[in-house]
Structure 1
Amino acid sequence: MRPSNSRPNSTSLWFAIVIALVIASLLAGLGMRSPQPPDEPRFVLAARHMVETGQWLLPHRGSELYAEKPPTFMWIQAGTYKLLGSWNLSFLVPSLLAALLTLWLTWDMSRRLWNRQVARYAVLGLFVCIQFGLMAKRAQIDMVLLGMTTLALWGLMRHLLLGPNWAALALAAFAAGVGTVTKGVGFLPLLILLPWLAWRWRHPQAPGPGRSWAWWLLLPAFIAGTAVWLGPLAIALLKNPDPGLQAYAHELLFKQTGTRYANAWHHTQPAWYYLQVMVTLWLPGSLLLPWLLPAWWRRCRRADPRYLLLLGWALLVLLFFSASPGKREVYILPMLPALAVAAAPLLPGLLRRTGVRWVLLVYVLVLAVATLAVGYGAVHGDGWAQRNAAKRAIDLWVLPRVGWWLIGFGAATLVLAIVLRLRRVGLAVVLTTVLLWSMYGLGAMPALDPYSSASLVMDKVRERIGPDAELGMVAWREQNLLQTAPQATDFGFKRPVGEQWEDAARWVTQAPARRWLFVLDAAMSPCADKAQVIDIGSANRNNWQLLPGTALDAECIARTHGVVPSGNTAVEDNTD
């Protein structure tokens, strides 16, 4: 026996158990819900169109081209579906895999820069931050982007501080290119070259990559990454003079990138907006900032390149997004792994401080008490719970089901706090987060899914019109179209409602006895017979109506050009 090795082996075993719980919590609920707005249904619609039509280059939202985002993320979803054969299972897999990749990259980067103990703190520190888990459980582009930016950062740090490693540099540039055609800001990891150049200028004799022709690998590798999508698009533009294709490329490459950044038309926020995002969505990590900031400052003053590069890059990313008038909380997510790596060497010392332990214990207790209170209110149907359920057209019988999951989470979290107490409060935070995402995936989201995904109201539509009827949609939302099978006929998404009504009237008159229209109540045409309009239900705070084809006056639509006084504008797309 070798007693000296017992403690490291025990630590490794416990860490492996905790990591297994982390992975299980991220997997929890996979396949148990449908895509939910605002972003998930539109991406799955585009991916489903690719699979059904075999046309993968240009994503579609219904009958229209979807020009707000490149198709890379939708390609991954469609490819996952081809492997798994279930949309409810496959649409979340890309985010899950990207989250696991990010955790491993965070581990490996920390291990190489410091040691295995630091790597353990880094990966668990990243996991417990609320925004990371939330995005891992959502099918949005941002988690896949995070995987690409972290991969690029990992390669750059290996080359700049542990190199030269020209293969890692090329991989980093390629990942940044793929990230750029996944979501336009994928190039951001390359900004780390600026703090590195400043450090090299002050420390020219420090080991690391110097002048070499191999630096030119950056440009072709980055271009190769972007060519994953821009290459096929360029070929299509050269071969096809279709003005629609030209307009698609122009909107995506210019309006949805440069114009969105410099002159955003929605999600406008003040310059300090991201400070509140960090304080709230980065809990509980943000609670340690009063201790982390001075410690980081001292290490930067000592010119430790690991901190200078990680923190300098994070600051550049924060300034980049703060300079744009358009801001959303997910934009600064790429900073989080870098900050977790920078915080990890300090966490063992911080967790020995009584003040830090009390702050984290209070966080666990507040989370437990808050969920217990909300769960109790949901089970007993208090006024607050009922009002919020009514706003979202949620049946009151669902509230106790959600409430008991919340109560279970709160009670289990209280037990953790009592058993682990101050001495092991770090472990309590990790296990609380495991419980949180398990409850979220297995309980809360499946219970609310029929209402959030609009599947309940679309089930009512199918039951009302019968299996032999055909359905058309006016002023629709992506989740409604996604929940139709076979897919309903639409008349455009961003088109003015009046134009949609004109096309809908022509479609209905071809077979009025078996064709129906699904319409947003505010967009119902005055040319419809109000006596035959059916209120079919509410979903996502919208009220929906059914109109039989025989109840629509097509001549009235033609005469008025389909104008609807309260719904004469196109649906605004707020995806990011």
Structure 2
Amino acid sequence: MPLPGGHLARVLLLLLLCLGTFLPGIASLPPTDRDESRFAQATRQMVETGDYVDIRFQDVPRYKKPVGIYWLQAAAVAVTGEGAASPIWVYRLPSMIASMLAVLLLYGLARRFAGEDVAFAAAALLAAALVLNIEARLAKTDATLLLTVVGALGCFGLIYQRVTQGLRTAPWPALAGWAFLGLGVLIKGPIAPLVAGLAVLTLALADRRSGRVGTFLRALRPLSGLLVLAVITAPWLIAISLKTDGAFLSNSVGGDLVPKLLGGEESHGAPPGYYFVTMAAMLWPGGVLFGLSLPWAWANRHRPWVRFALAWGVPGFILFELVPTKLPHYTMPYFPAFLLLGAGAALEAFKPVTRLGRHWRRFVLAVFAAVGVALGLGLAGLEWYFTGGAGTAGLAAVVVALLTVTASLVLISRAAVGRAIAVMVIGAGALYAAAFTTILPGATVLWPAPAIAAELDRLGLTDAPLLVSSGYSEPSLVFLTRTDIRLLSPAEAAAAFAAAPGAVALVEAGSRPGFDAALGGLAVQELAHVRGVNVSRGKPIDIAILRRGPVAP
């Protein structure tokens, strides 16, 4: 079933779709804990100090990820003219723009080897994917990593298609692909080369009897490509190694990457099968087409582009399932491949359909419906629980979810694929708009740091000689208050507070007894309280804002 629209019209439509799905909420959603605020604060300190080589969060080296995302965020600060004190939306711009470019690149490159309709449908579904809509609104690495993976694998897919057709390939796809891998290294270390390398290795093994493996590998121009990668990555790696006496590489590899490979790092361990389960939500709504495509994909594995998409997505996904440390977004680099397969199968009405395939189809459609309804009900429940009643946005989310699921199921059953994709994309966009512009920002109890910053501003304490916090040390507090805020134990906070006239302390209720005992009877003014939930720890908090000095009469 062909989809409507010419090439330029589709590009413009995808651009509008990206703006409609990624933009709502980018400014209204408060800074999240913990990774986003750490990235944004480290970038802020780069801008404040003018040191664009070293990476620090307050006085602590932050040597887990390379410098690429910090440079992009610093560029956003410079372009917007907001300065180091830029609001969080400025630091999120690279993620939003990278998400848009990933969608456009998937269409622009995949159309050359998978066909116009397949590429367009996959790109539209990528723009609607839940996981990308989360990452597009966060000042982190993952959306930008996705861009580099789509760019690299898109170029290599084009090469593979031409090699299987017996055609010569120009140098630019290979060199561009290696350039994307170099950028990926600067964003998140070895992940992008790992994704690409495993796909190439899989194709080489699968095609070992075809006689074209050597041609394909030569067409990738590995020697020239490695040179391109080195030119992009080596200058900063050398600079940071010299500046830190090798501490960056030892910490990023030995302190971050290796522990994640060997065990559940940072309490994020999970057994194999975790990604298979969570993908139903992370890839929603387009994941339903991928689920339905599995019998079709296996039956059509002889097609070059299907073979390439399988090599891109399946082995790496399995590898990530075997790694102990897991978070739902870690497998996002494989989702474009899955959506290409889903789009390809859908456009051919998922043929062939076996008896086993019919049972699988019912299961996949049921999961799709359950996830959609759960999203709508979850958003409504979140609004009701944290705001004290059902609001318009929550009710709208339920209605939109039910309509999207029902209409999609009906259209899929009628093989009206184009309209089904349109319904899924529009419905998902409406859900995300409600979630990120109204429901999540409106649940203010989940965001203590903005409330604390607002109270400090209301009380005229933003320029206090010293600001300390005990019992609440989330990175968003640093980002929203000041770089030199001191995050201390109760005894340490009391000592610093007592030694600085005019000091201000933020003390969580659990730390208050120790703080008061260490003060030794020093008079303090209790100016305000902020109550909320520490989402990172999953517990309620009550933070007192204290100022040193006599109690007001």
Q: Please report the TM-score for the alignment, with normalisation by the length of structure 1.
A: 0.78
Q: State the AA in 2 paired with 1:150.
A: V
Greater Cα shift, 316-325 or 140-149: 316-325
**Aligned-residue offset at 1:263:** 3.5
Q: State the AA in 2 paired with 1:527.
A: A
Change in Cα spacing, 1:78 to 1:458, as seen in structure 2 (3 Å) is same
Q: Which residue of 2 aligns with 1:527?
A: 518
The structure 2 residue matched to 1:195, chosen from 196, 202, 222, is: 202
Q: Which residue of 2 aligns with 1:92?
A: 92
Structure 1 residue 80 corresponds to structure 2 residue 76:
yes
Q: Which residue of 2 aligns with 1:333?
A: 332
Does structure 1 conserve the Cα–Cα contact (< 8 Å) formed by 2:290 and 2:341? no
* Whole-angstrom distance in 2 between the partners of 1:313 and 1:281: 18
Structure 1 residue 446 corresponds to structure 2 residue 441:
yes
Greater Cα shift, 50-59 or 217-226: 217-226
Change in Cα spacing, 1:149 to 1:360, as seen in structure 2 (3 Å) is same
Q: Residues 164-183 of structure 1: matches in 2 within 5 Å?
A: 164-183=169-188
Does structure 1 conserve the Cα–Cα contact (< 8 Å) formed by 2:291 and 2:342? no
Q: Which residue of 2 aligns with 1:392?
A: none
Change in Cα spacing, 1:453 to 1:186, as seen in structure 2 (3 Å) is farther
Change in Cα spacing, 1:453 to 1:317, as seen in structure 2 (3 Å) is farther
Q: Which residue of 1 aligns with 2:227?
A: 220
Q: Which residue of 2 aligns with 1:186?
A: 192
Structure 1 residue 63 corresponds to structure 2 residue 59:
yes
Structure 1 residue 511 corresponds to structure 2 residue 518:
no
The structure 2 residue matched to 1:536, chosen from 529, 534, 549, is: 529
Change in Cα spacing, 1:464 to 1:48, as seen in structure 2 (3 Å) is same
* Whole-angstrom distance in 2 between the partners of 1:132 and 1:440: 14
* Whole-angstrom distance in 1 between the partners of 2:125 and 2:181: 24
Structure 1 residue 456 corresponds to structure 2 residue 421:
no
**Aligned-residue offset at 1:47:** 0.9
Structure 1 residue 283 corresponds to structure 2 residue 271:
no
* Whole-angstrom distance in 2 between the partners of 1:376 and 1:199: 48
Q: SS of the residue aligned with 1:259?
A: helix
Q: Which residue of 2 aligns with 1:566?
A: none
Change in Cα spacing, 1:228 to 1:331, as seen in structure 2 (3 Å) is farther
Q: Residues 363-374 of structure 1: matches in 2 within 5 Å?
A: none
Q: Which residue of 2 aligns with 1:149?
A: 149
CA deviations 1:195-214 (Å, max 9, x no partner) are 22224421115895464794
Greater Cα shift, 21-30 or 75-84: 21-30
* Whole-angstrom distance in 2 between the partners of 1:68 and 1:194: 28
The structure 2 residue matched to 1:435, chosen from 430, 436, 440, is: 430
* Whole-angstrom distance in 2 between the partners of 1:418 and 1:18: 24
**Aligned-residue offset at 1:223:** 2.3
Change in Cα spacing, 1:261 to 1:550, as seen in structure 2 (3 Å) is farther
**Aligned-residue offset at 1:100:** 0.9
Structure 1 residue 407 corresponds to structure 2 residue 395:
yes
Change in Cα spacing, 1:306 to 1:54, as seen in structure 2 (3 Å) is same
Q: State the AA in 1 paired with 2:530.
A: G
Change in Cα spacing, 1:359 to 1:453, as seen in structure 2 (3 Å) is farther
Q: Which residue of 1 aligns with 2:121?
A: 121
CA deviations 1:474-518 (Å, max 9, x no partner) are 45211112111x5443257xxxx47xx44x556445433x01222
Q: Which residue of 2 aligns with 1:292?
A: 293
CA deviations 1:404-452 (Å, max 9, x no partner) are 1122344456667788863533321121012122223332243236742
Q: SS of the residue aligned with 1:308?
A: helix
Does structure 1 conserve the Cα–Cα contact (< 8 Å) formed by 2:448 and 2:531? no
CA deviations 1:350-389 (Å, max 9, x no partner) are 3899x8999999788767766775677678xxxxx44xx2
Query: Structure 1 vs Structure 2: percent identity of aligned residues?
Result: 20
Q: Please report the TM-score for the alignment, with normalisation by the length of structure 2.
A: 0.81
Change in Cα spacing, 1:549 to 1:228, as seen in structure 2 (3 Å) is farther
Q: Which residue of 2 aligns with 1:345?
A: 344
Q: SS of the residue aligned with 1:283?
A: coil
Does structure 2 conserve the Cα–Cα contact (< 8 Å) formed by 1:537 and 1:544? yes
Does structure 1 conserve the Cα–Cα contact (< 8 Å) formed by 2:290 and 2:338? no
Q: SS of the residue aligned with 1:164?
A: coil
CA deviations 1:532-573 (Å, max 9, x no partner) are 58472234243323344459xxxxxxxxxxxxxxxxxxxxxx
Change in Cα spacing, 1:309 to 1:375, as seen in structure 2 (3 Å) is closer
* Whole-angstrom distance in 1 between the partners of 2:186 and 2:213: 35
Does structure 2 conserve the Cα–Cα contact (< 8 Å) formed by 1:33 and 1:446? yes
* Whole-angstrom distance in 1 between the partners of 2:294 and 2:36: 36
* Whole-angstrom distance in 2 between the partners of 1:331 and 1:378: 25
Change in Cα spacing, 1:159 to 1:18, as seen in structure 2 (3 Å) is closer
Q: Which residue of 1 aligns with 2:474?
A: 477
Q: State the AA in 1 paired with 2:57.
A: R
**Aligned-residue offset at 1:112:** 0.4
**Aligned-residue offset at 1:142:** 0.9
**Aligned-residue offset at 1:316:** 2.1
The structure 2 residue matched to 1:30, chosen from 26, 31, 54, is: 26
CA deviations 1:260-282 (Å, max 9, x no partner) are 32234331111221111123322
* Whole-angstrom distance in 1 between the partners of 2:420 and 2:364: 7
Q: Which residue of 1 aligns with 2:261?
A: 261
Count the aligned residue pairs: 512
Q: SS of the residue aligned with 2:529?
A: strand
Q: Which residue of 2 aligns with 1:322?
A: 321
Does structure 2 conserve the Cα–Cα contact (< 8 Å) formed by 1:174 and 1:224? no
**Aligned-residue offset at 1:122:** 1.5
Does structure 2 conserve the Cα–Cα contact (< 8 Å) formed by 1:164 and 1:209? no
Q: Which residue of 1 aligns with 2:165?
A: none
**Aligned-residue offset at 1:520:** 3.6
**Aligned-residue offset at 1:93:** 0.8
Greater Cα shift, 515-524 or 329-338: 515-524
**Aligned-residue offset at 1:229:** 3.0
* Whole-angstrom distance in 2 between the partners of 1:71 and 1:7: 41
* Whole-angstrom distance in 2 between the partners of 1:147 and 1:363: 28
* Whole-angstrom distance in 2 between the partners of 1:343 and 1:368: 18
Does structure 1 conserve the Cα–Cα contact (< 8 Å) formed by 2:95 and 2:136? yes
**Aligned-residue offset at 1:46:** 0.6
Structure 1 residue 236 corresponds to structure 2 residue 243:
yes
Q: State the AA in 1 paired with 2:243.
A: A
Does structure 2 conserve the Cα–Cα contact (< 8 Å) formed by 1:364 and 1:432? no
Change in Cα spacing, 1:65 to 1:213, as seen in structure 2 (3 Å) is closer
Change in Cα spacing, 1:49 to 1:280, as seen in structure 2 (3 Å) is same
Change in Cα spacing, 1:222 to 1:337, as seen in structure 2 (3 Å) is same
Does structure 1 conserve the Cα–Cα contact (< 8 Å) formed by 2:401 and 2:431? no
Does structure 2 conserve the Cα–Cα contact (< 8 Å) formed by 1:37 and 1:479? yes
**Aligned-residue offset at 1:347:** 1.5
Q: State the AA in 2 paired with 1:197.
A: A
* Whole-angstrom distance in 1 between the partners of 2:404 and 2:321: 39
* Whole-angstrom distance in 2 between the partners of 1:371 and 1:480: 29
Does structure 2 conserve the Cα–Cα contact (< 8 Å) formed by 1:118 and 1:344? yes
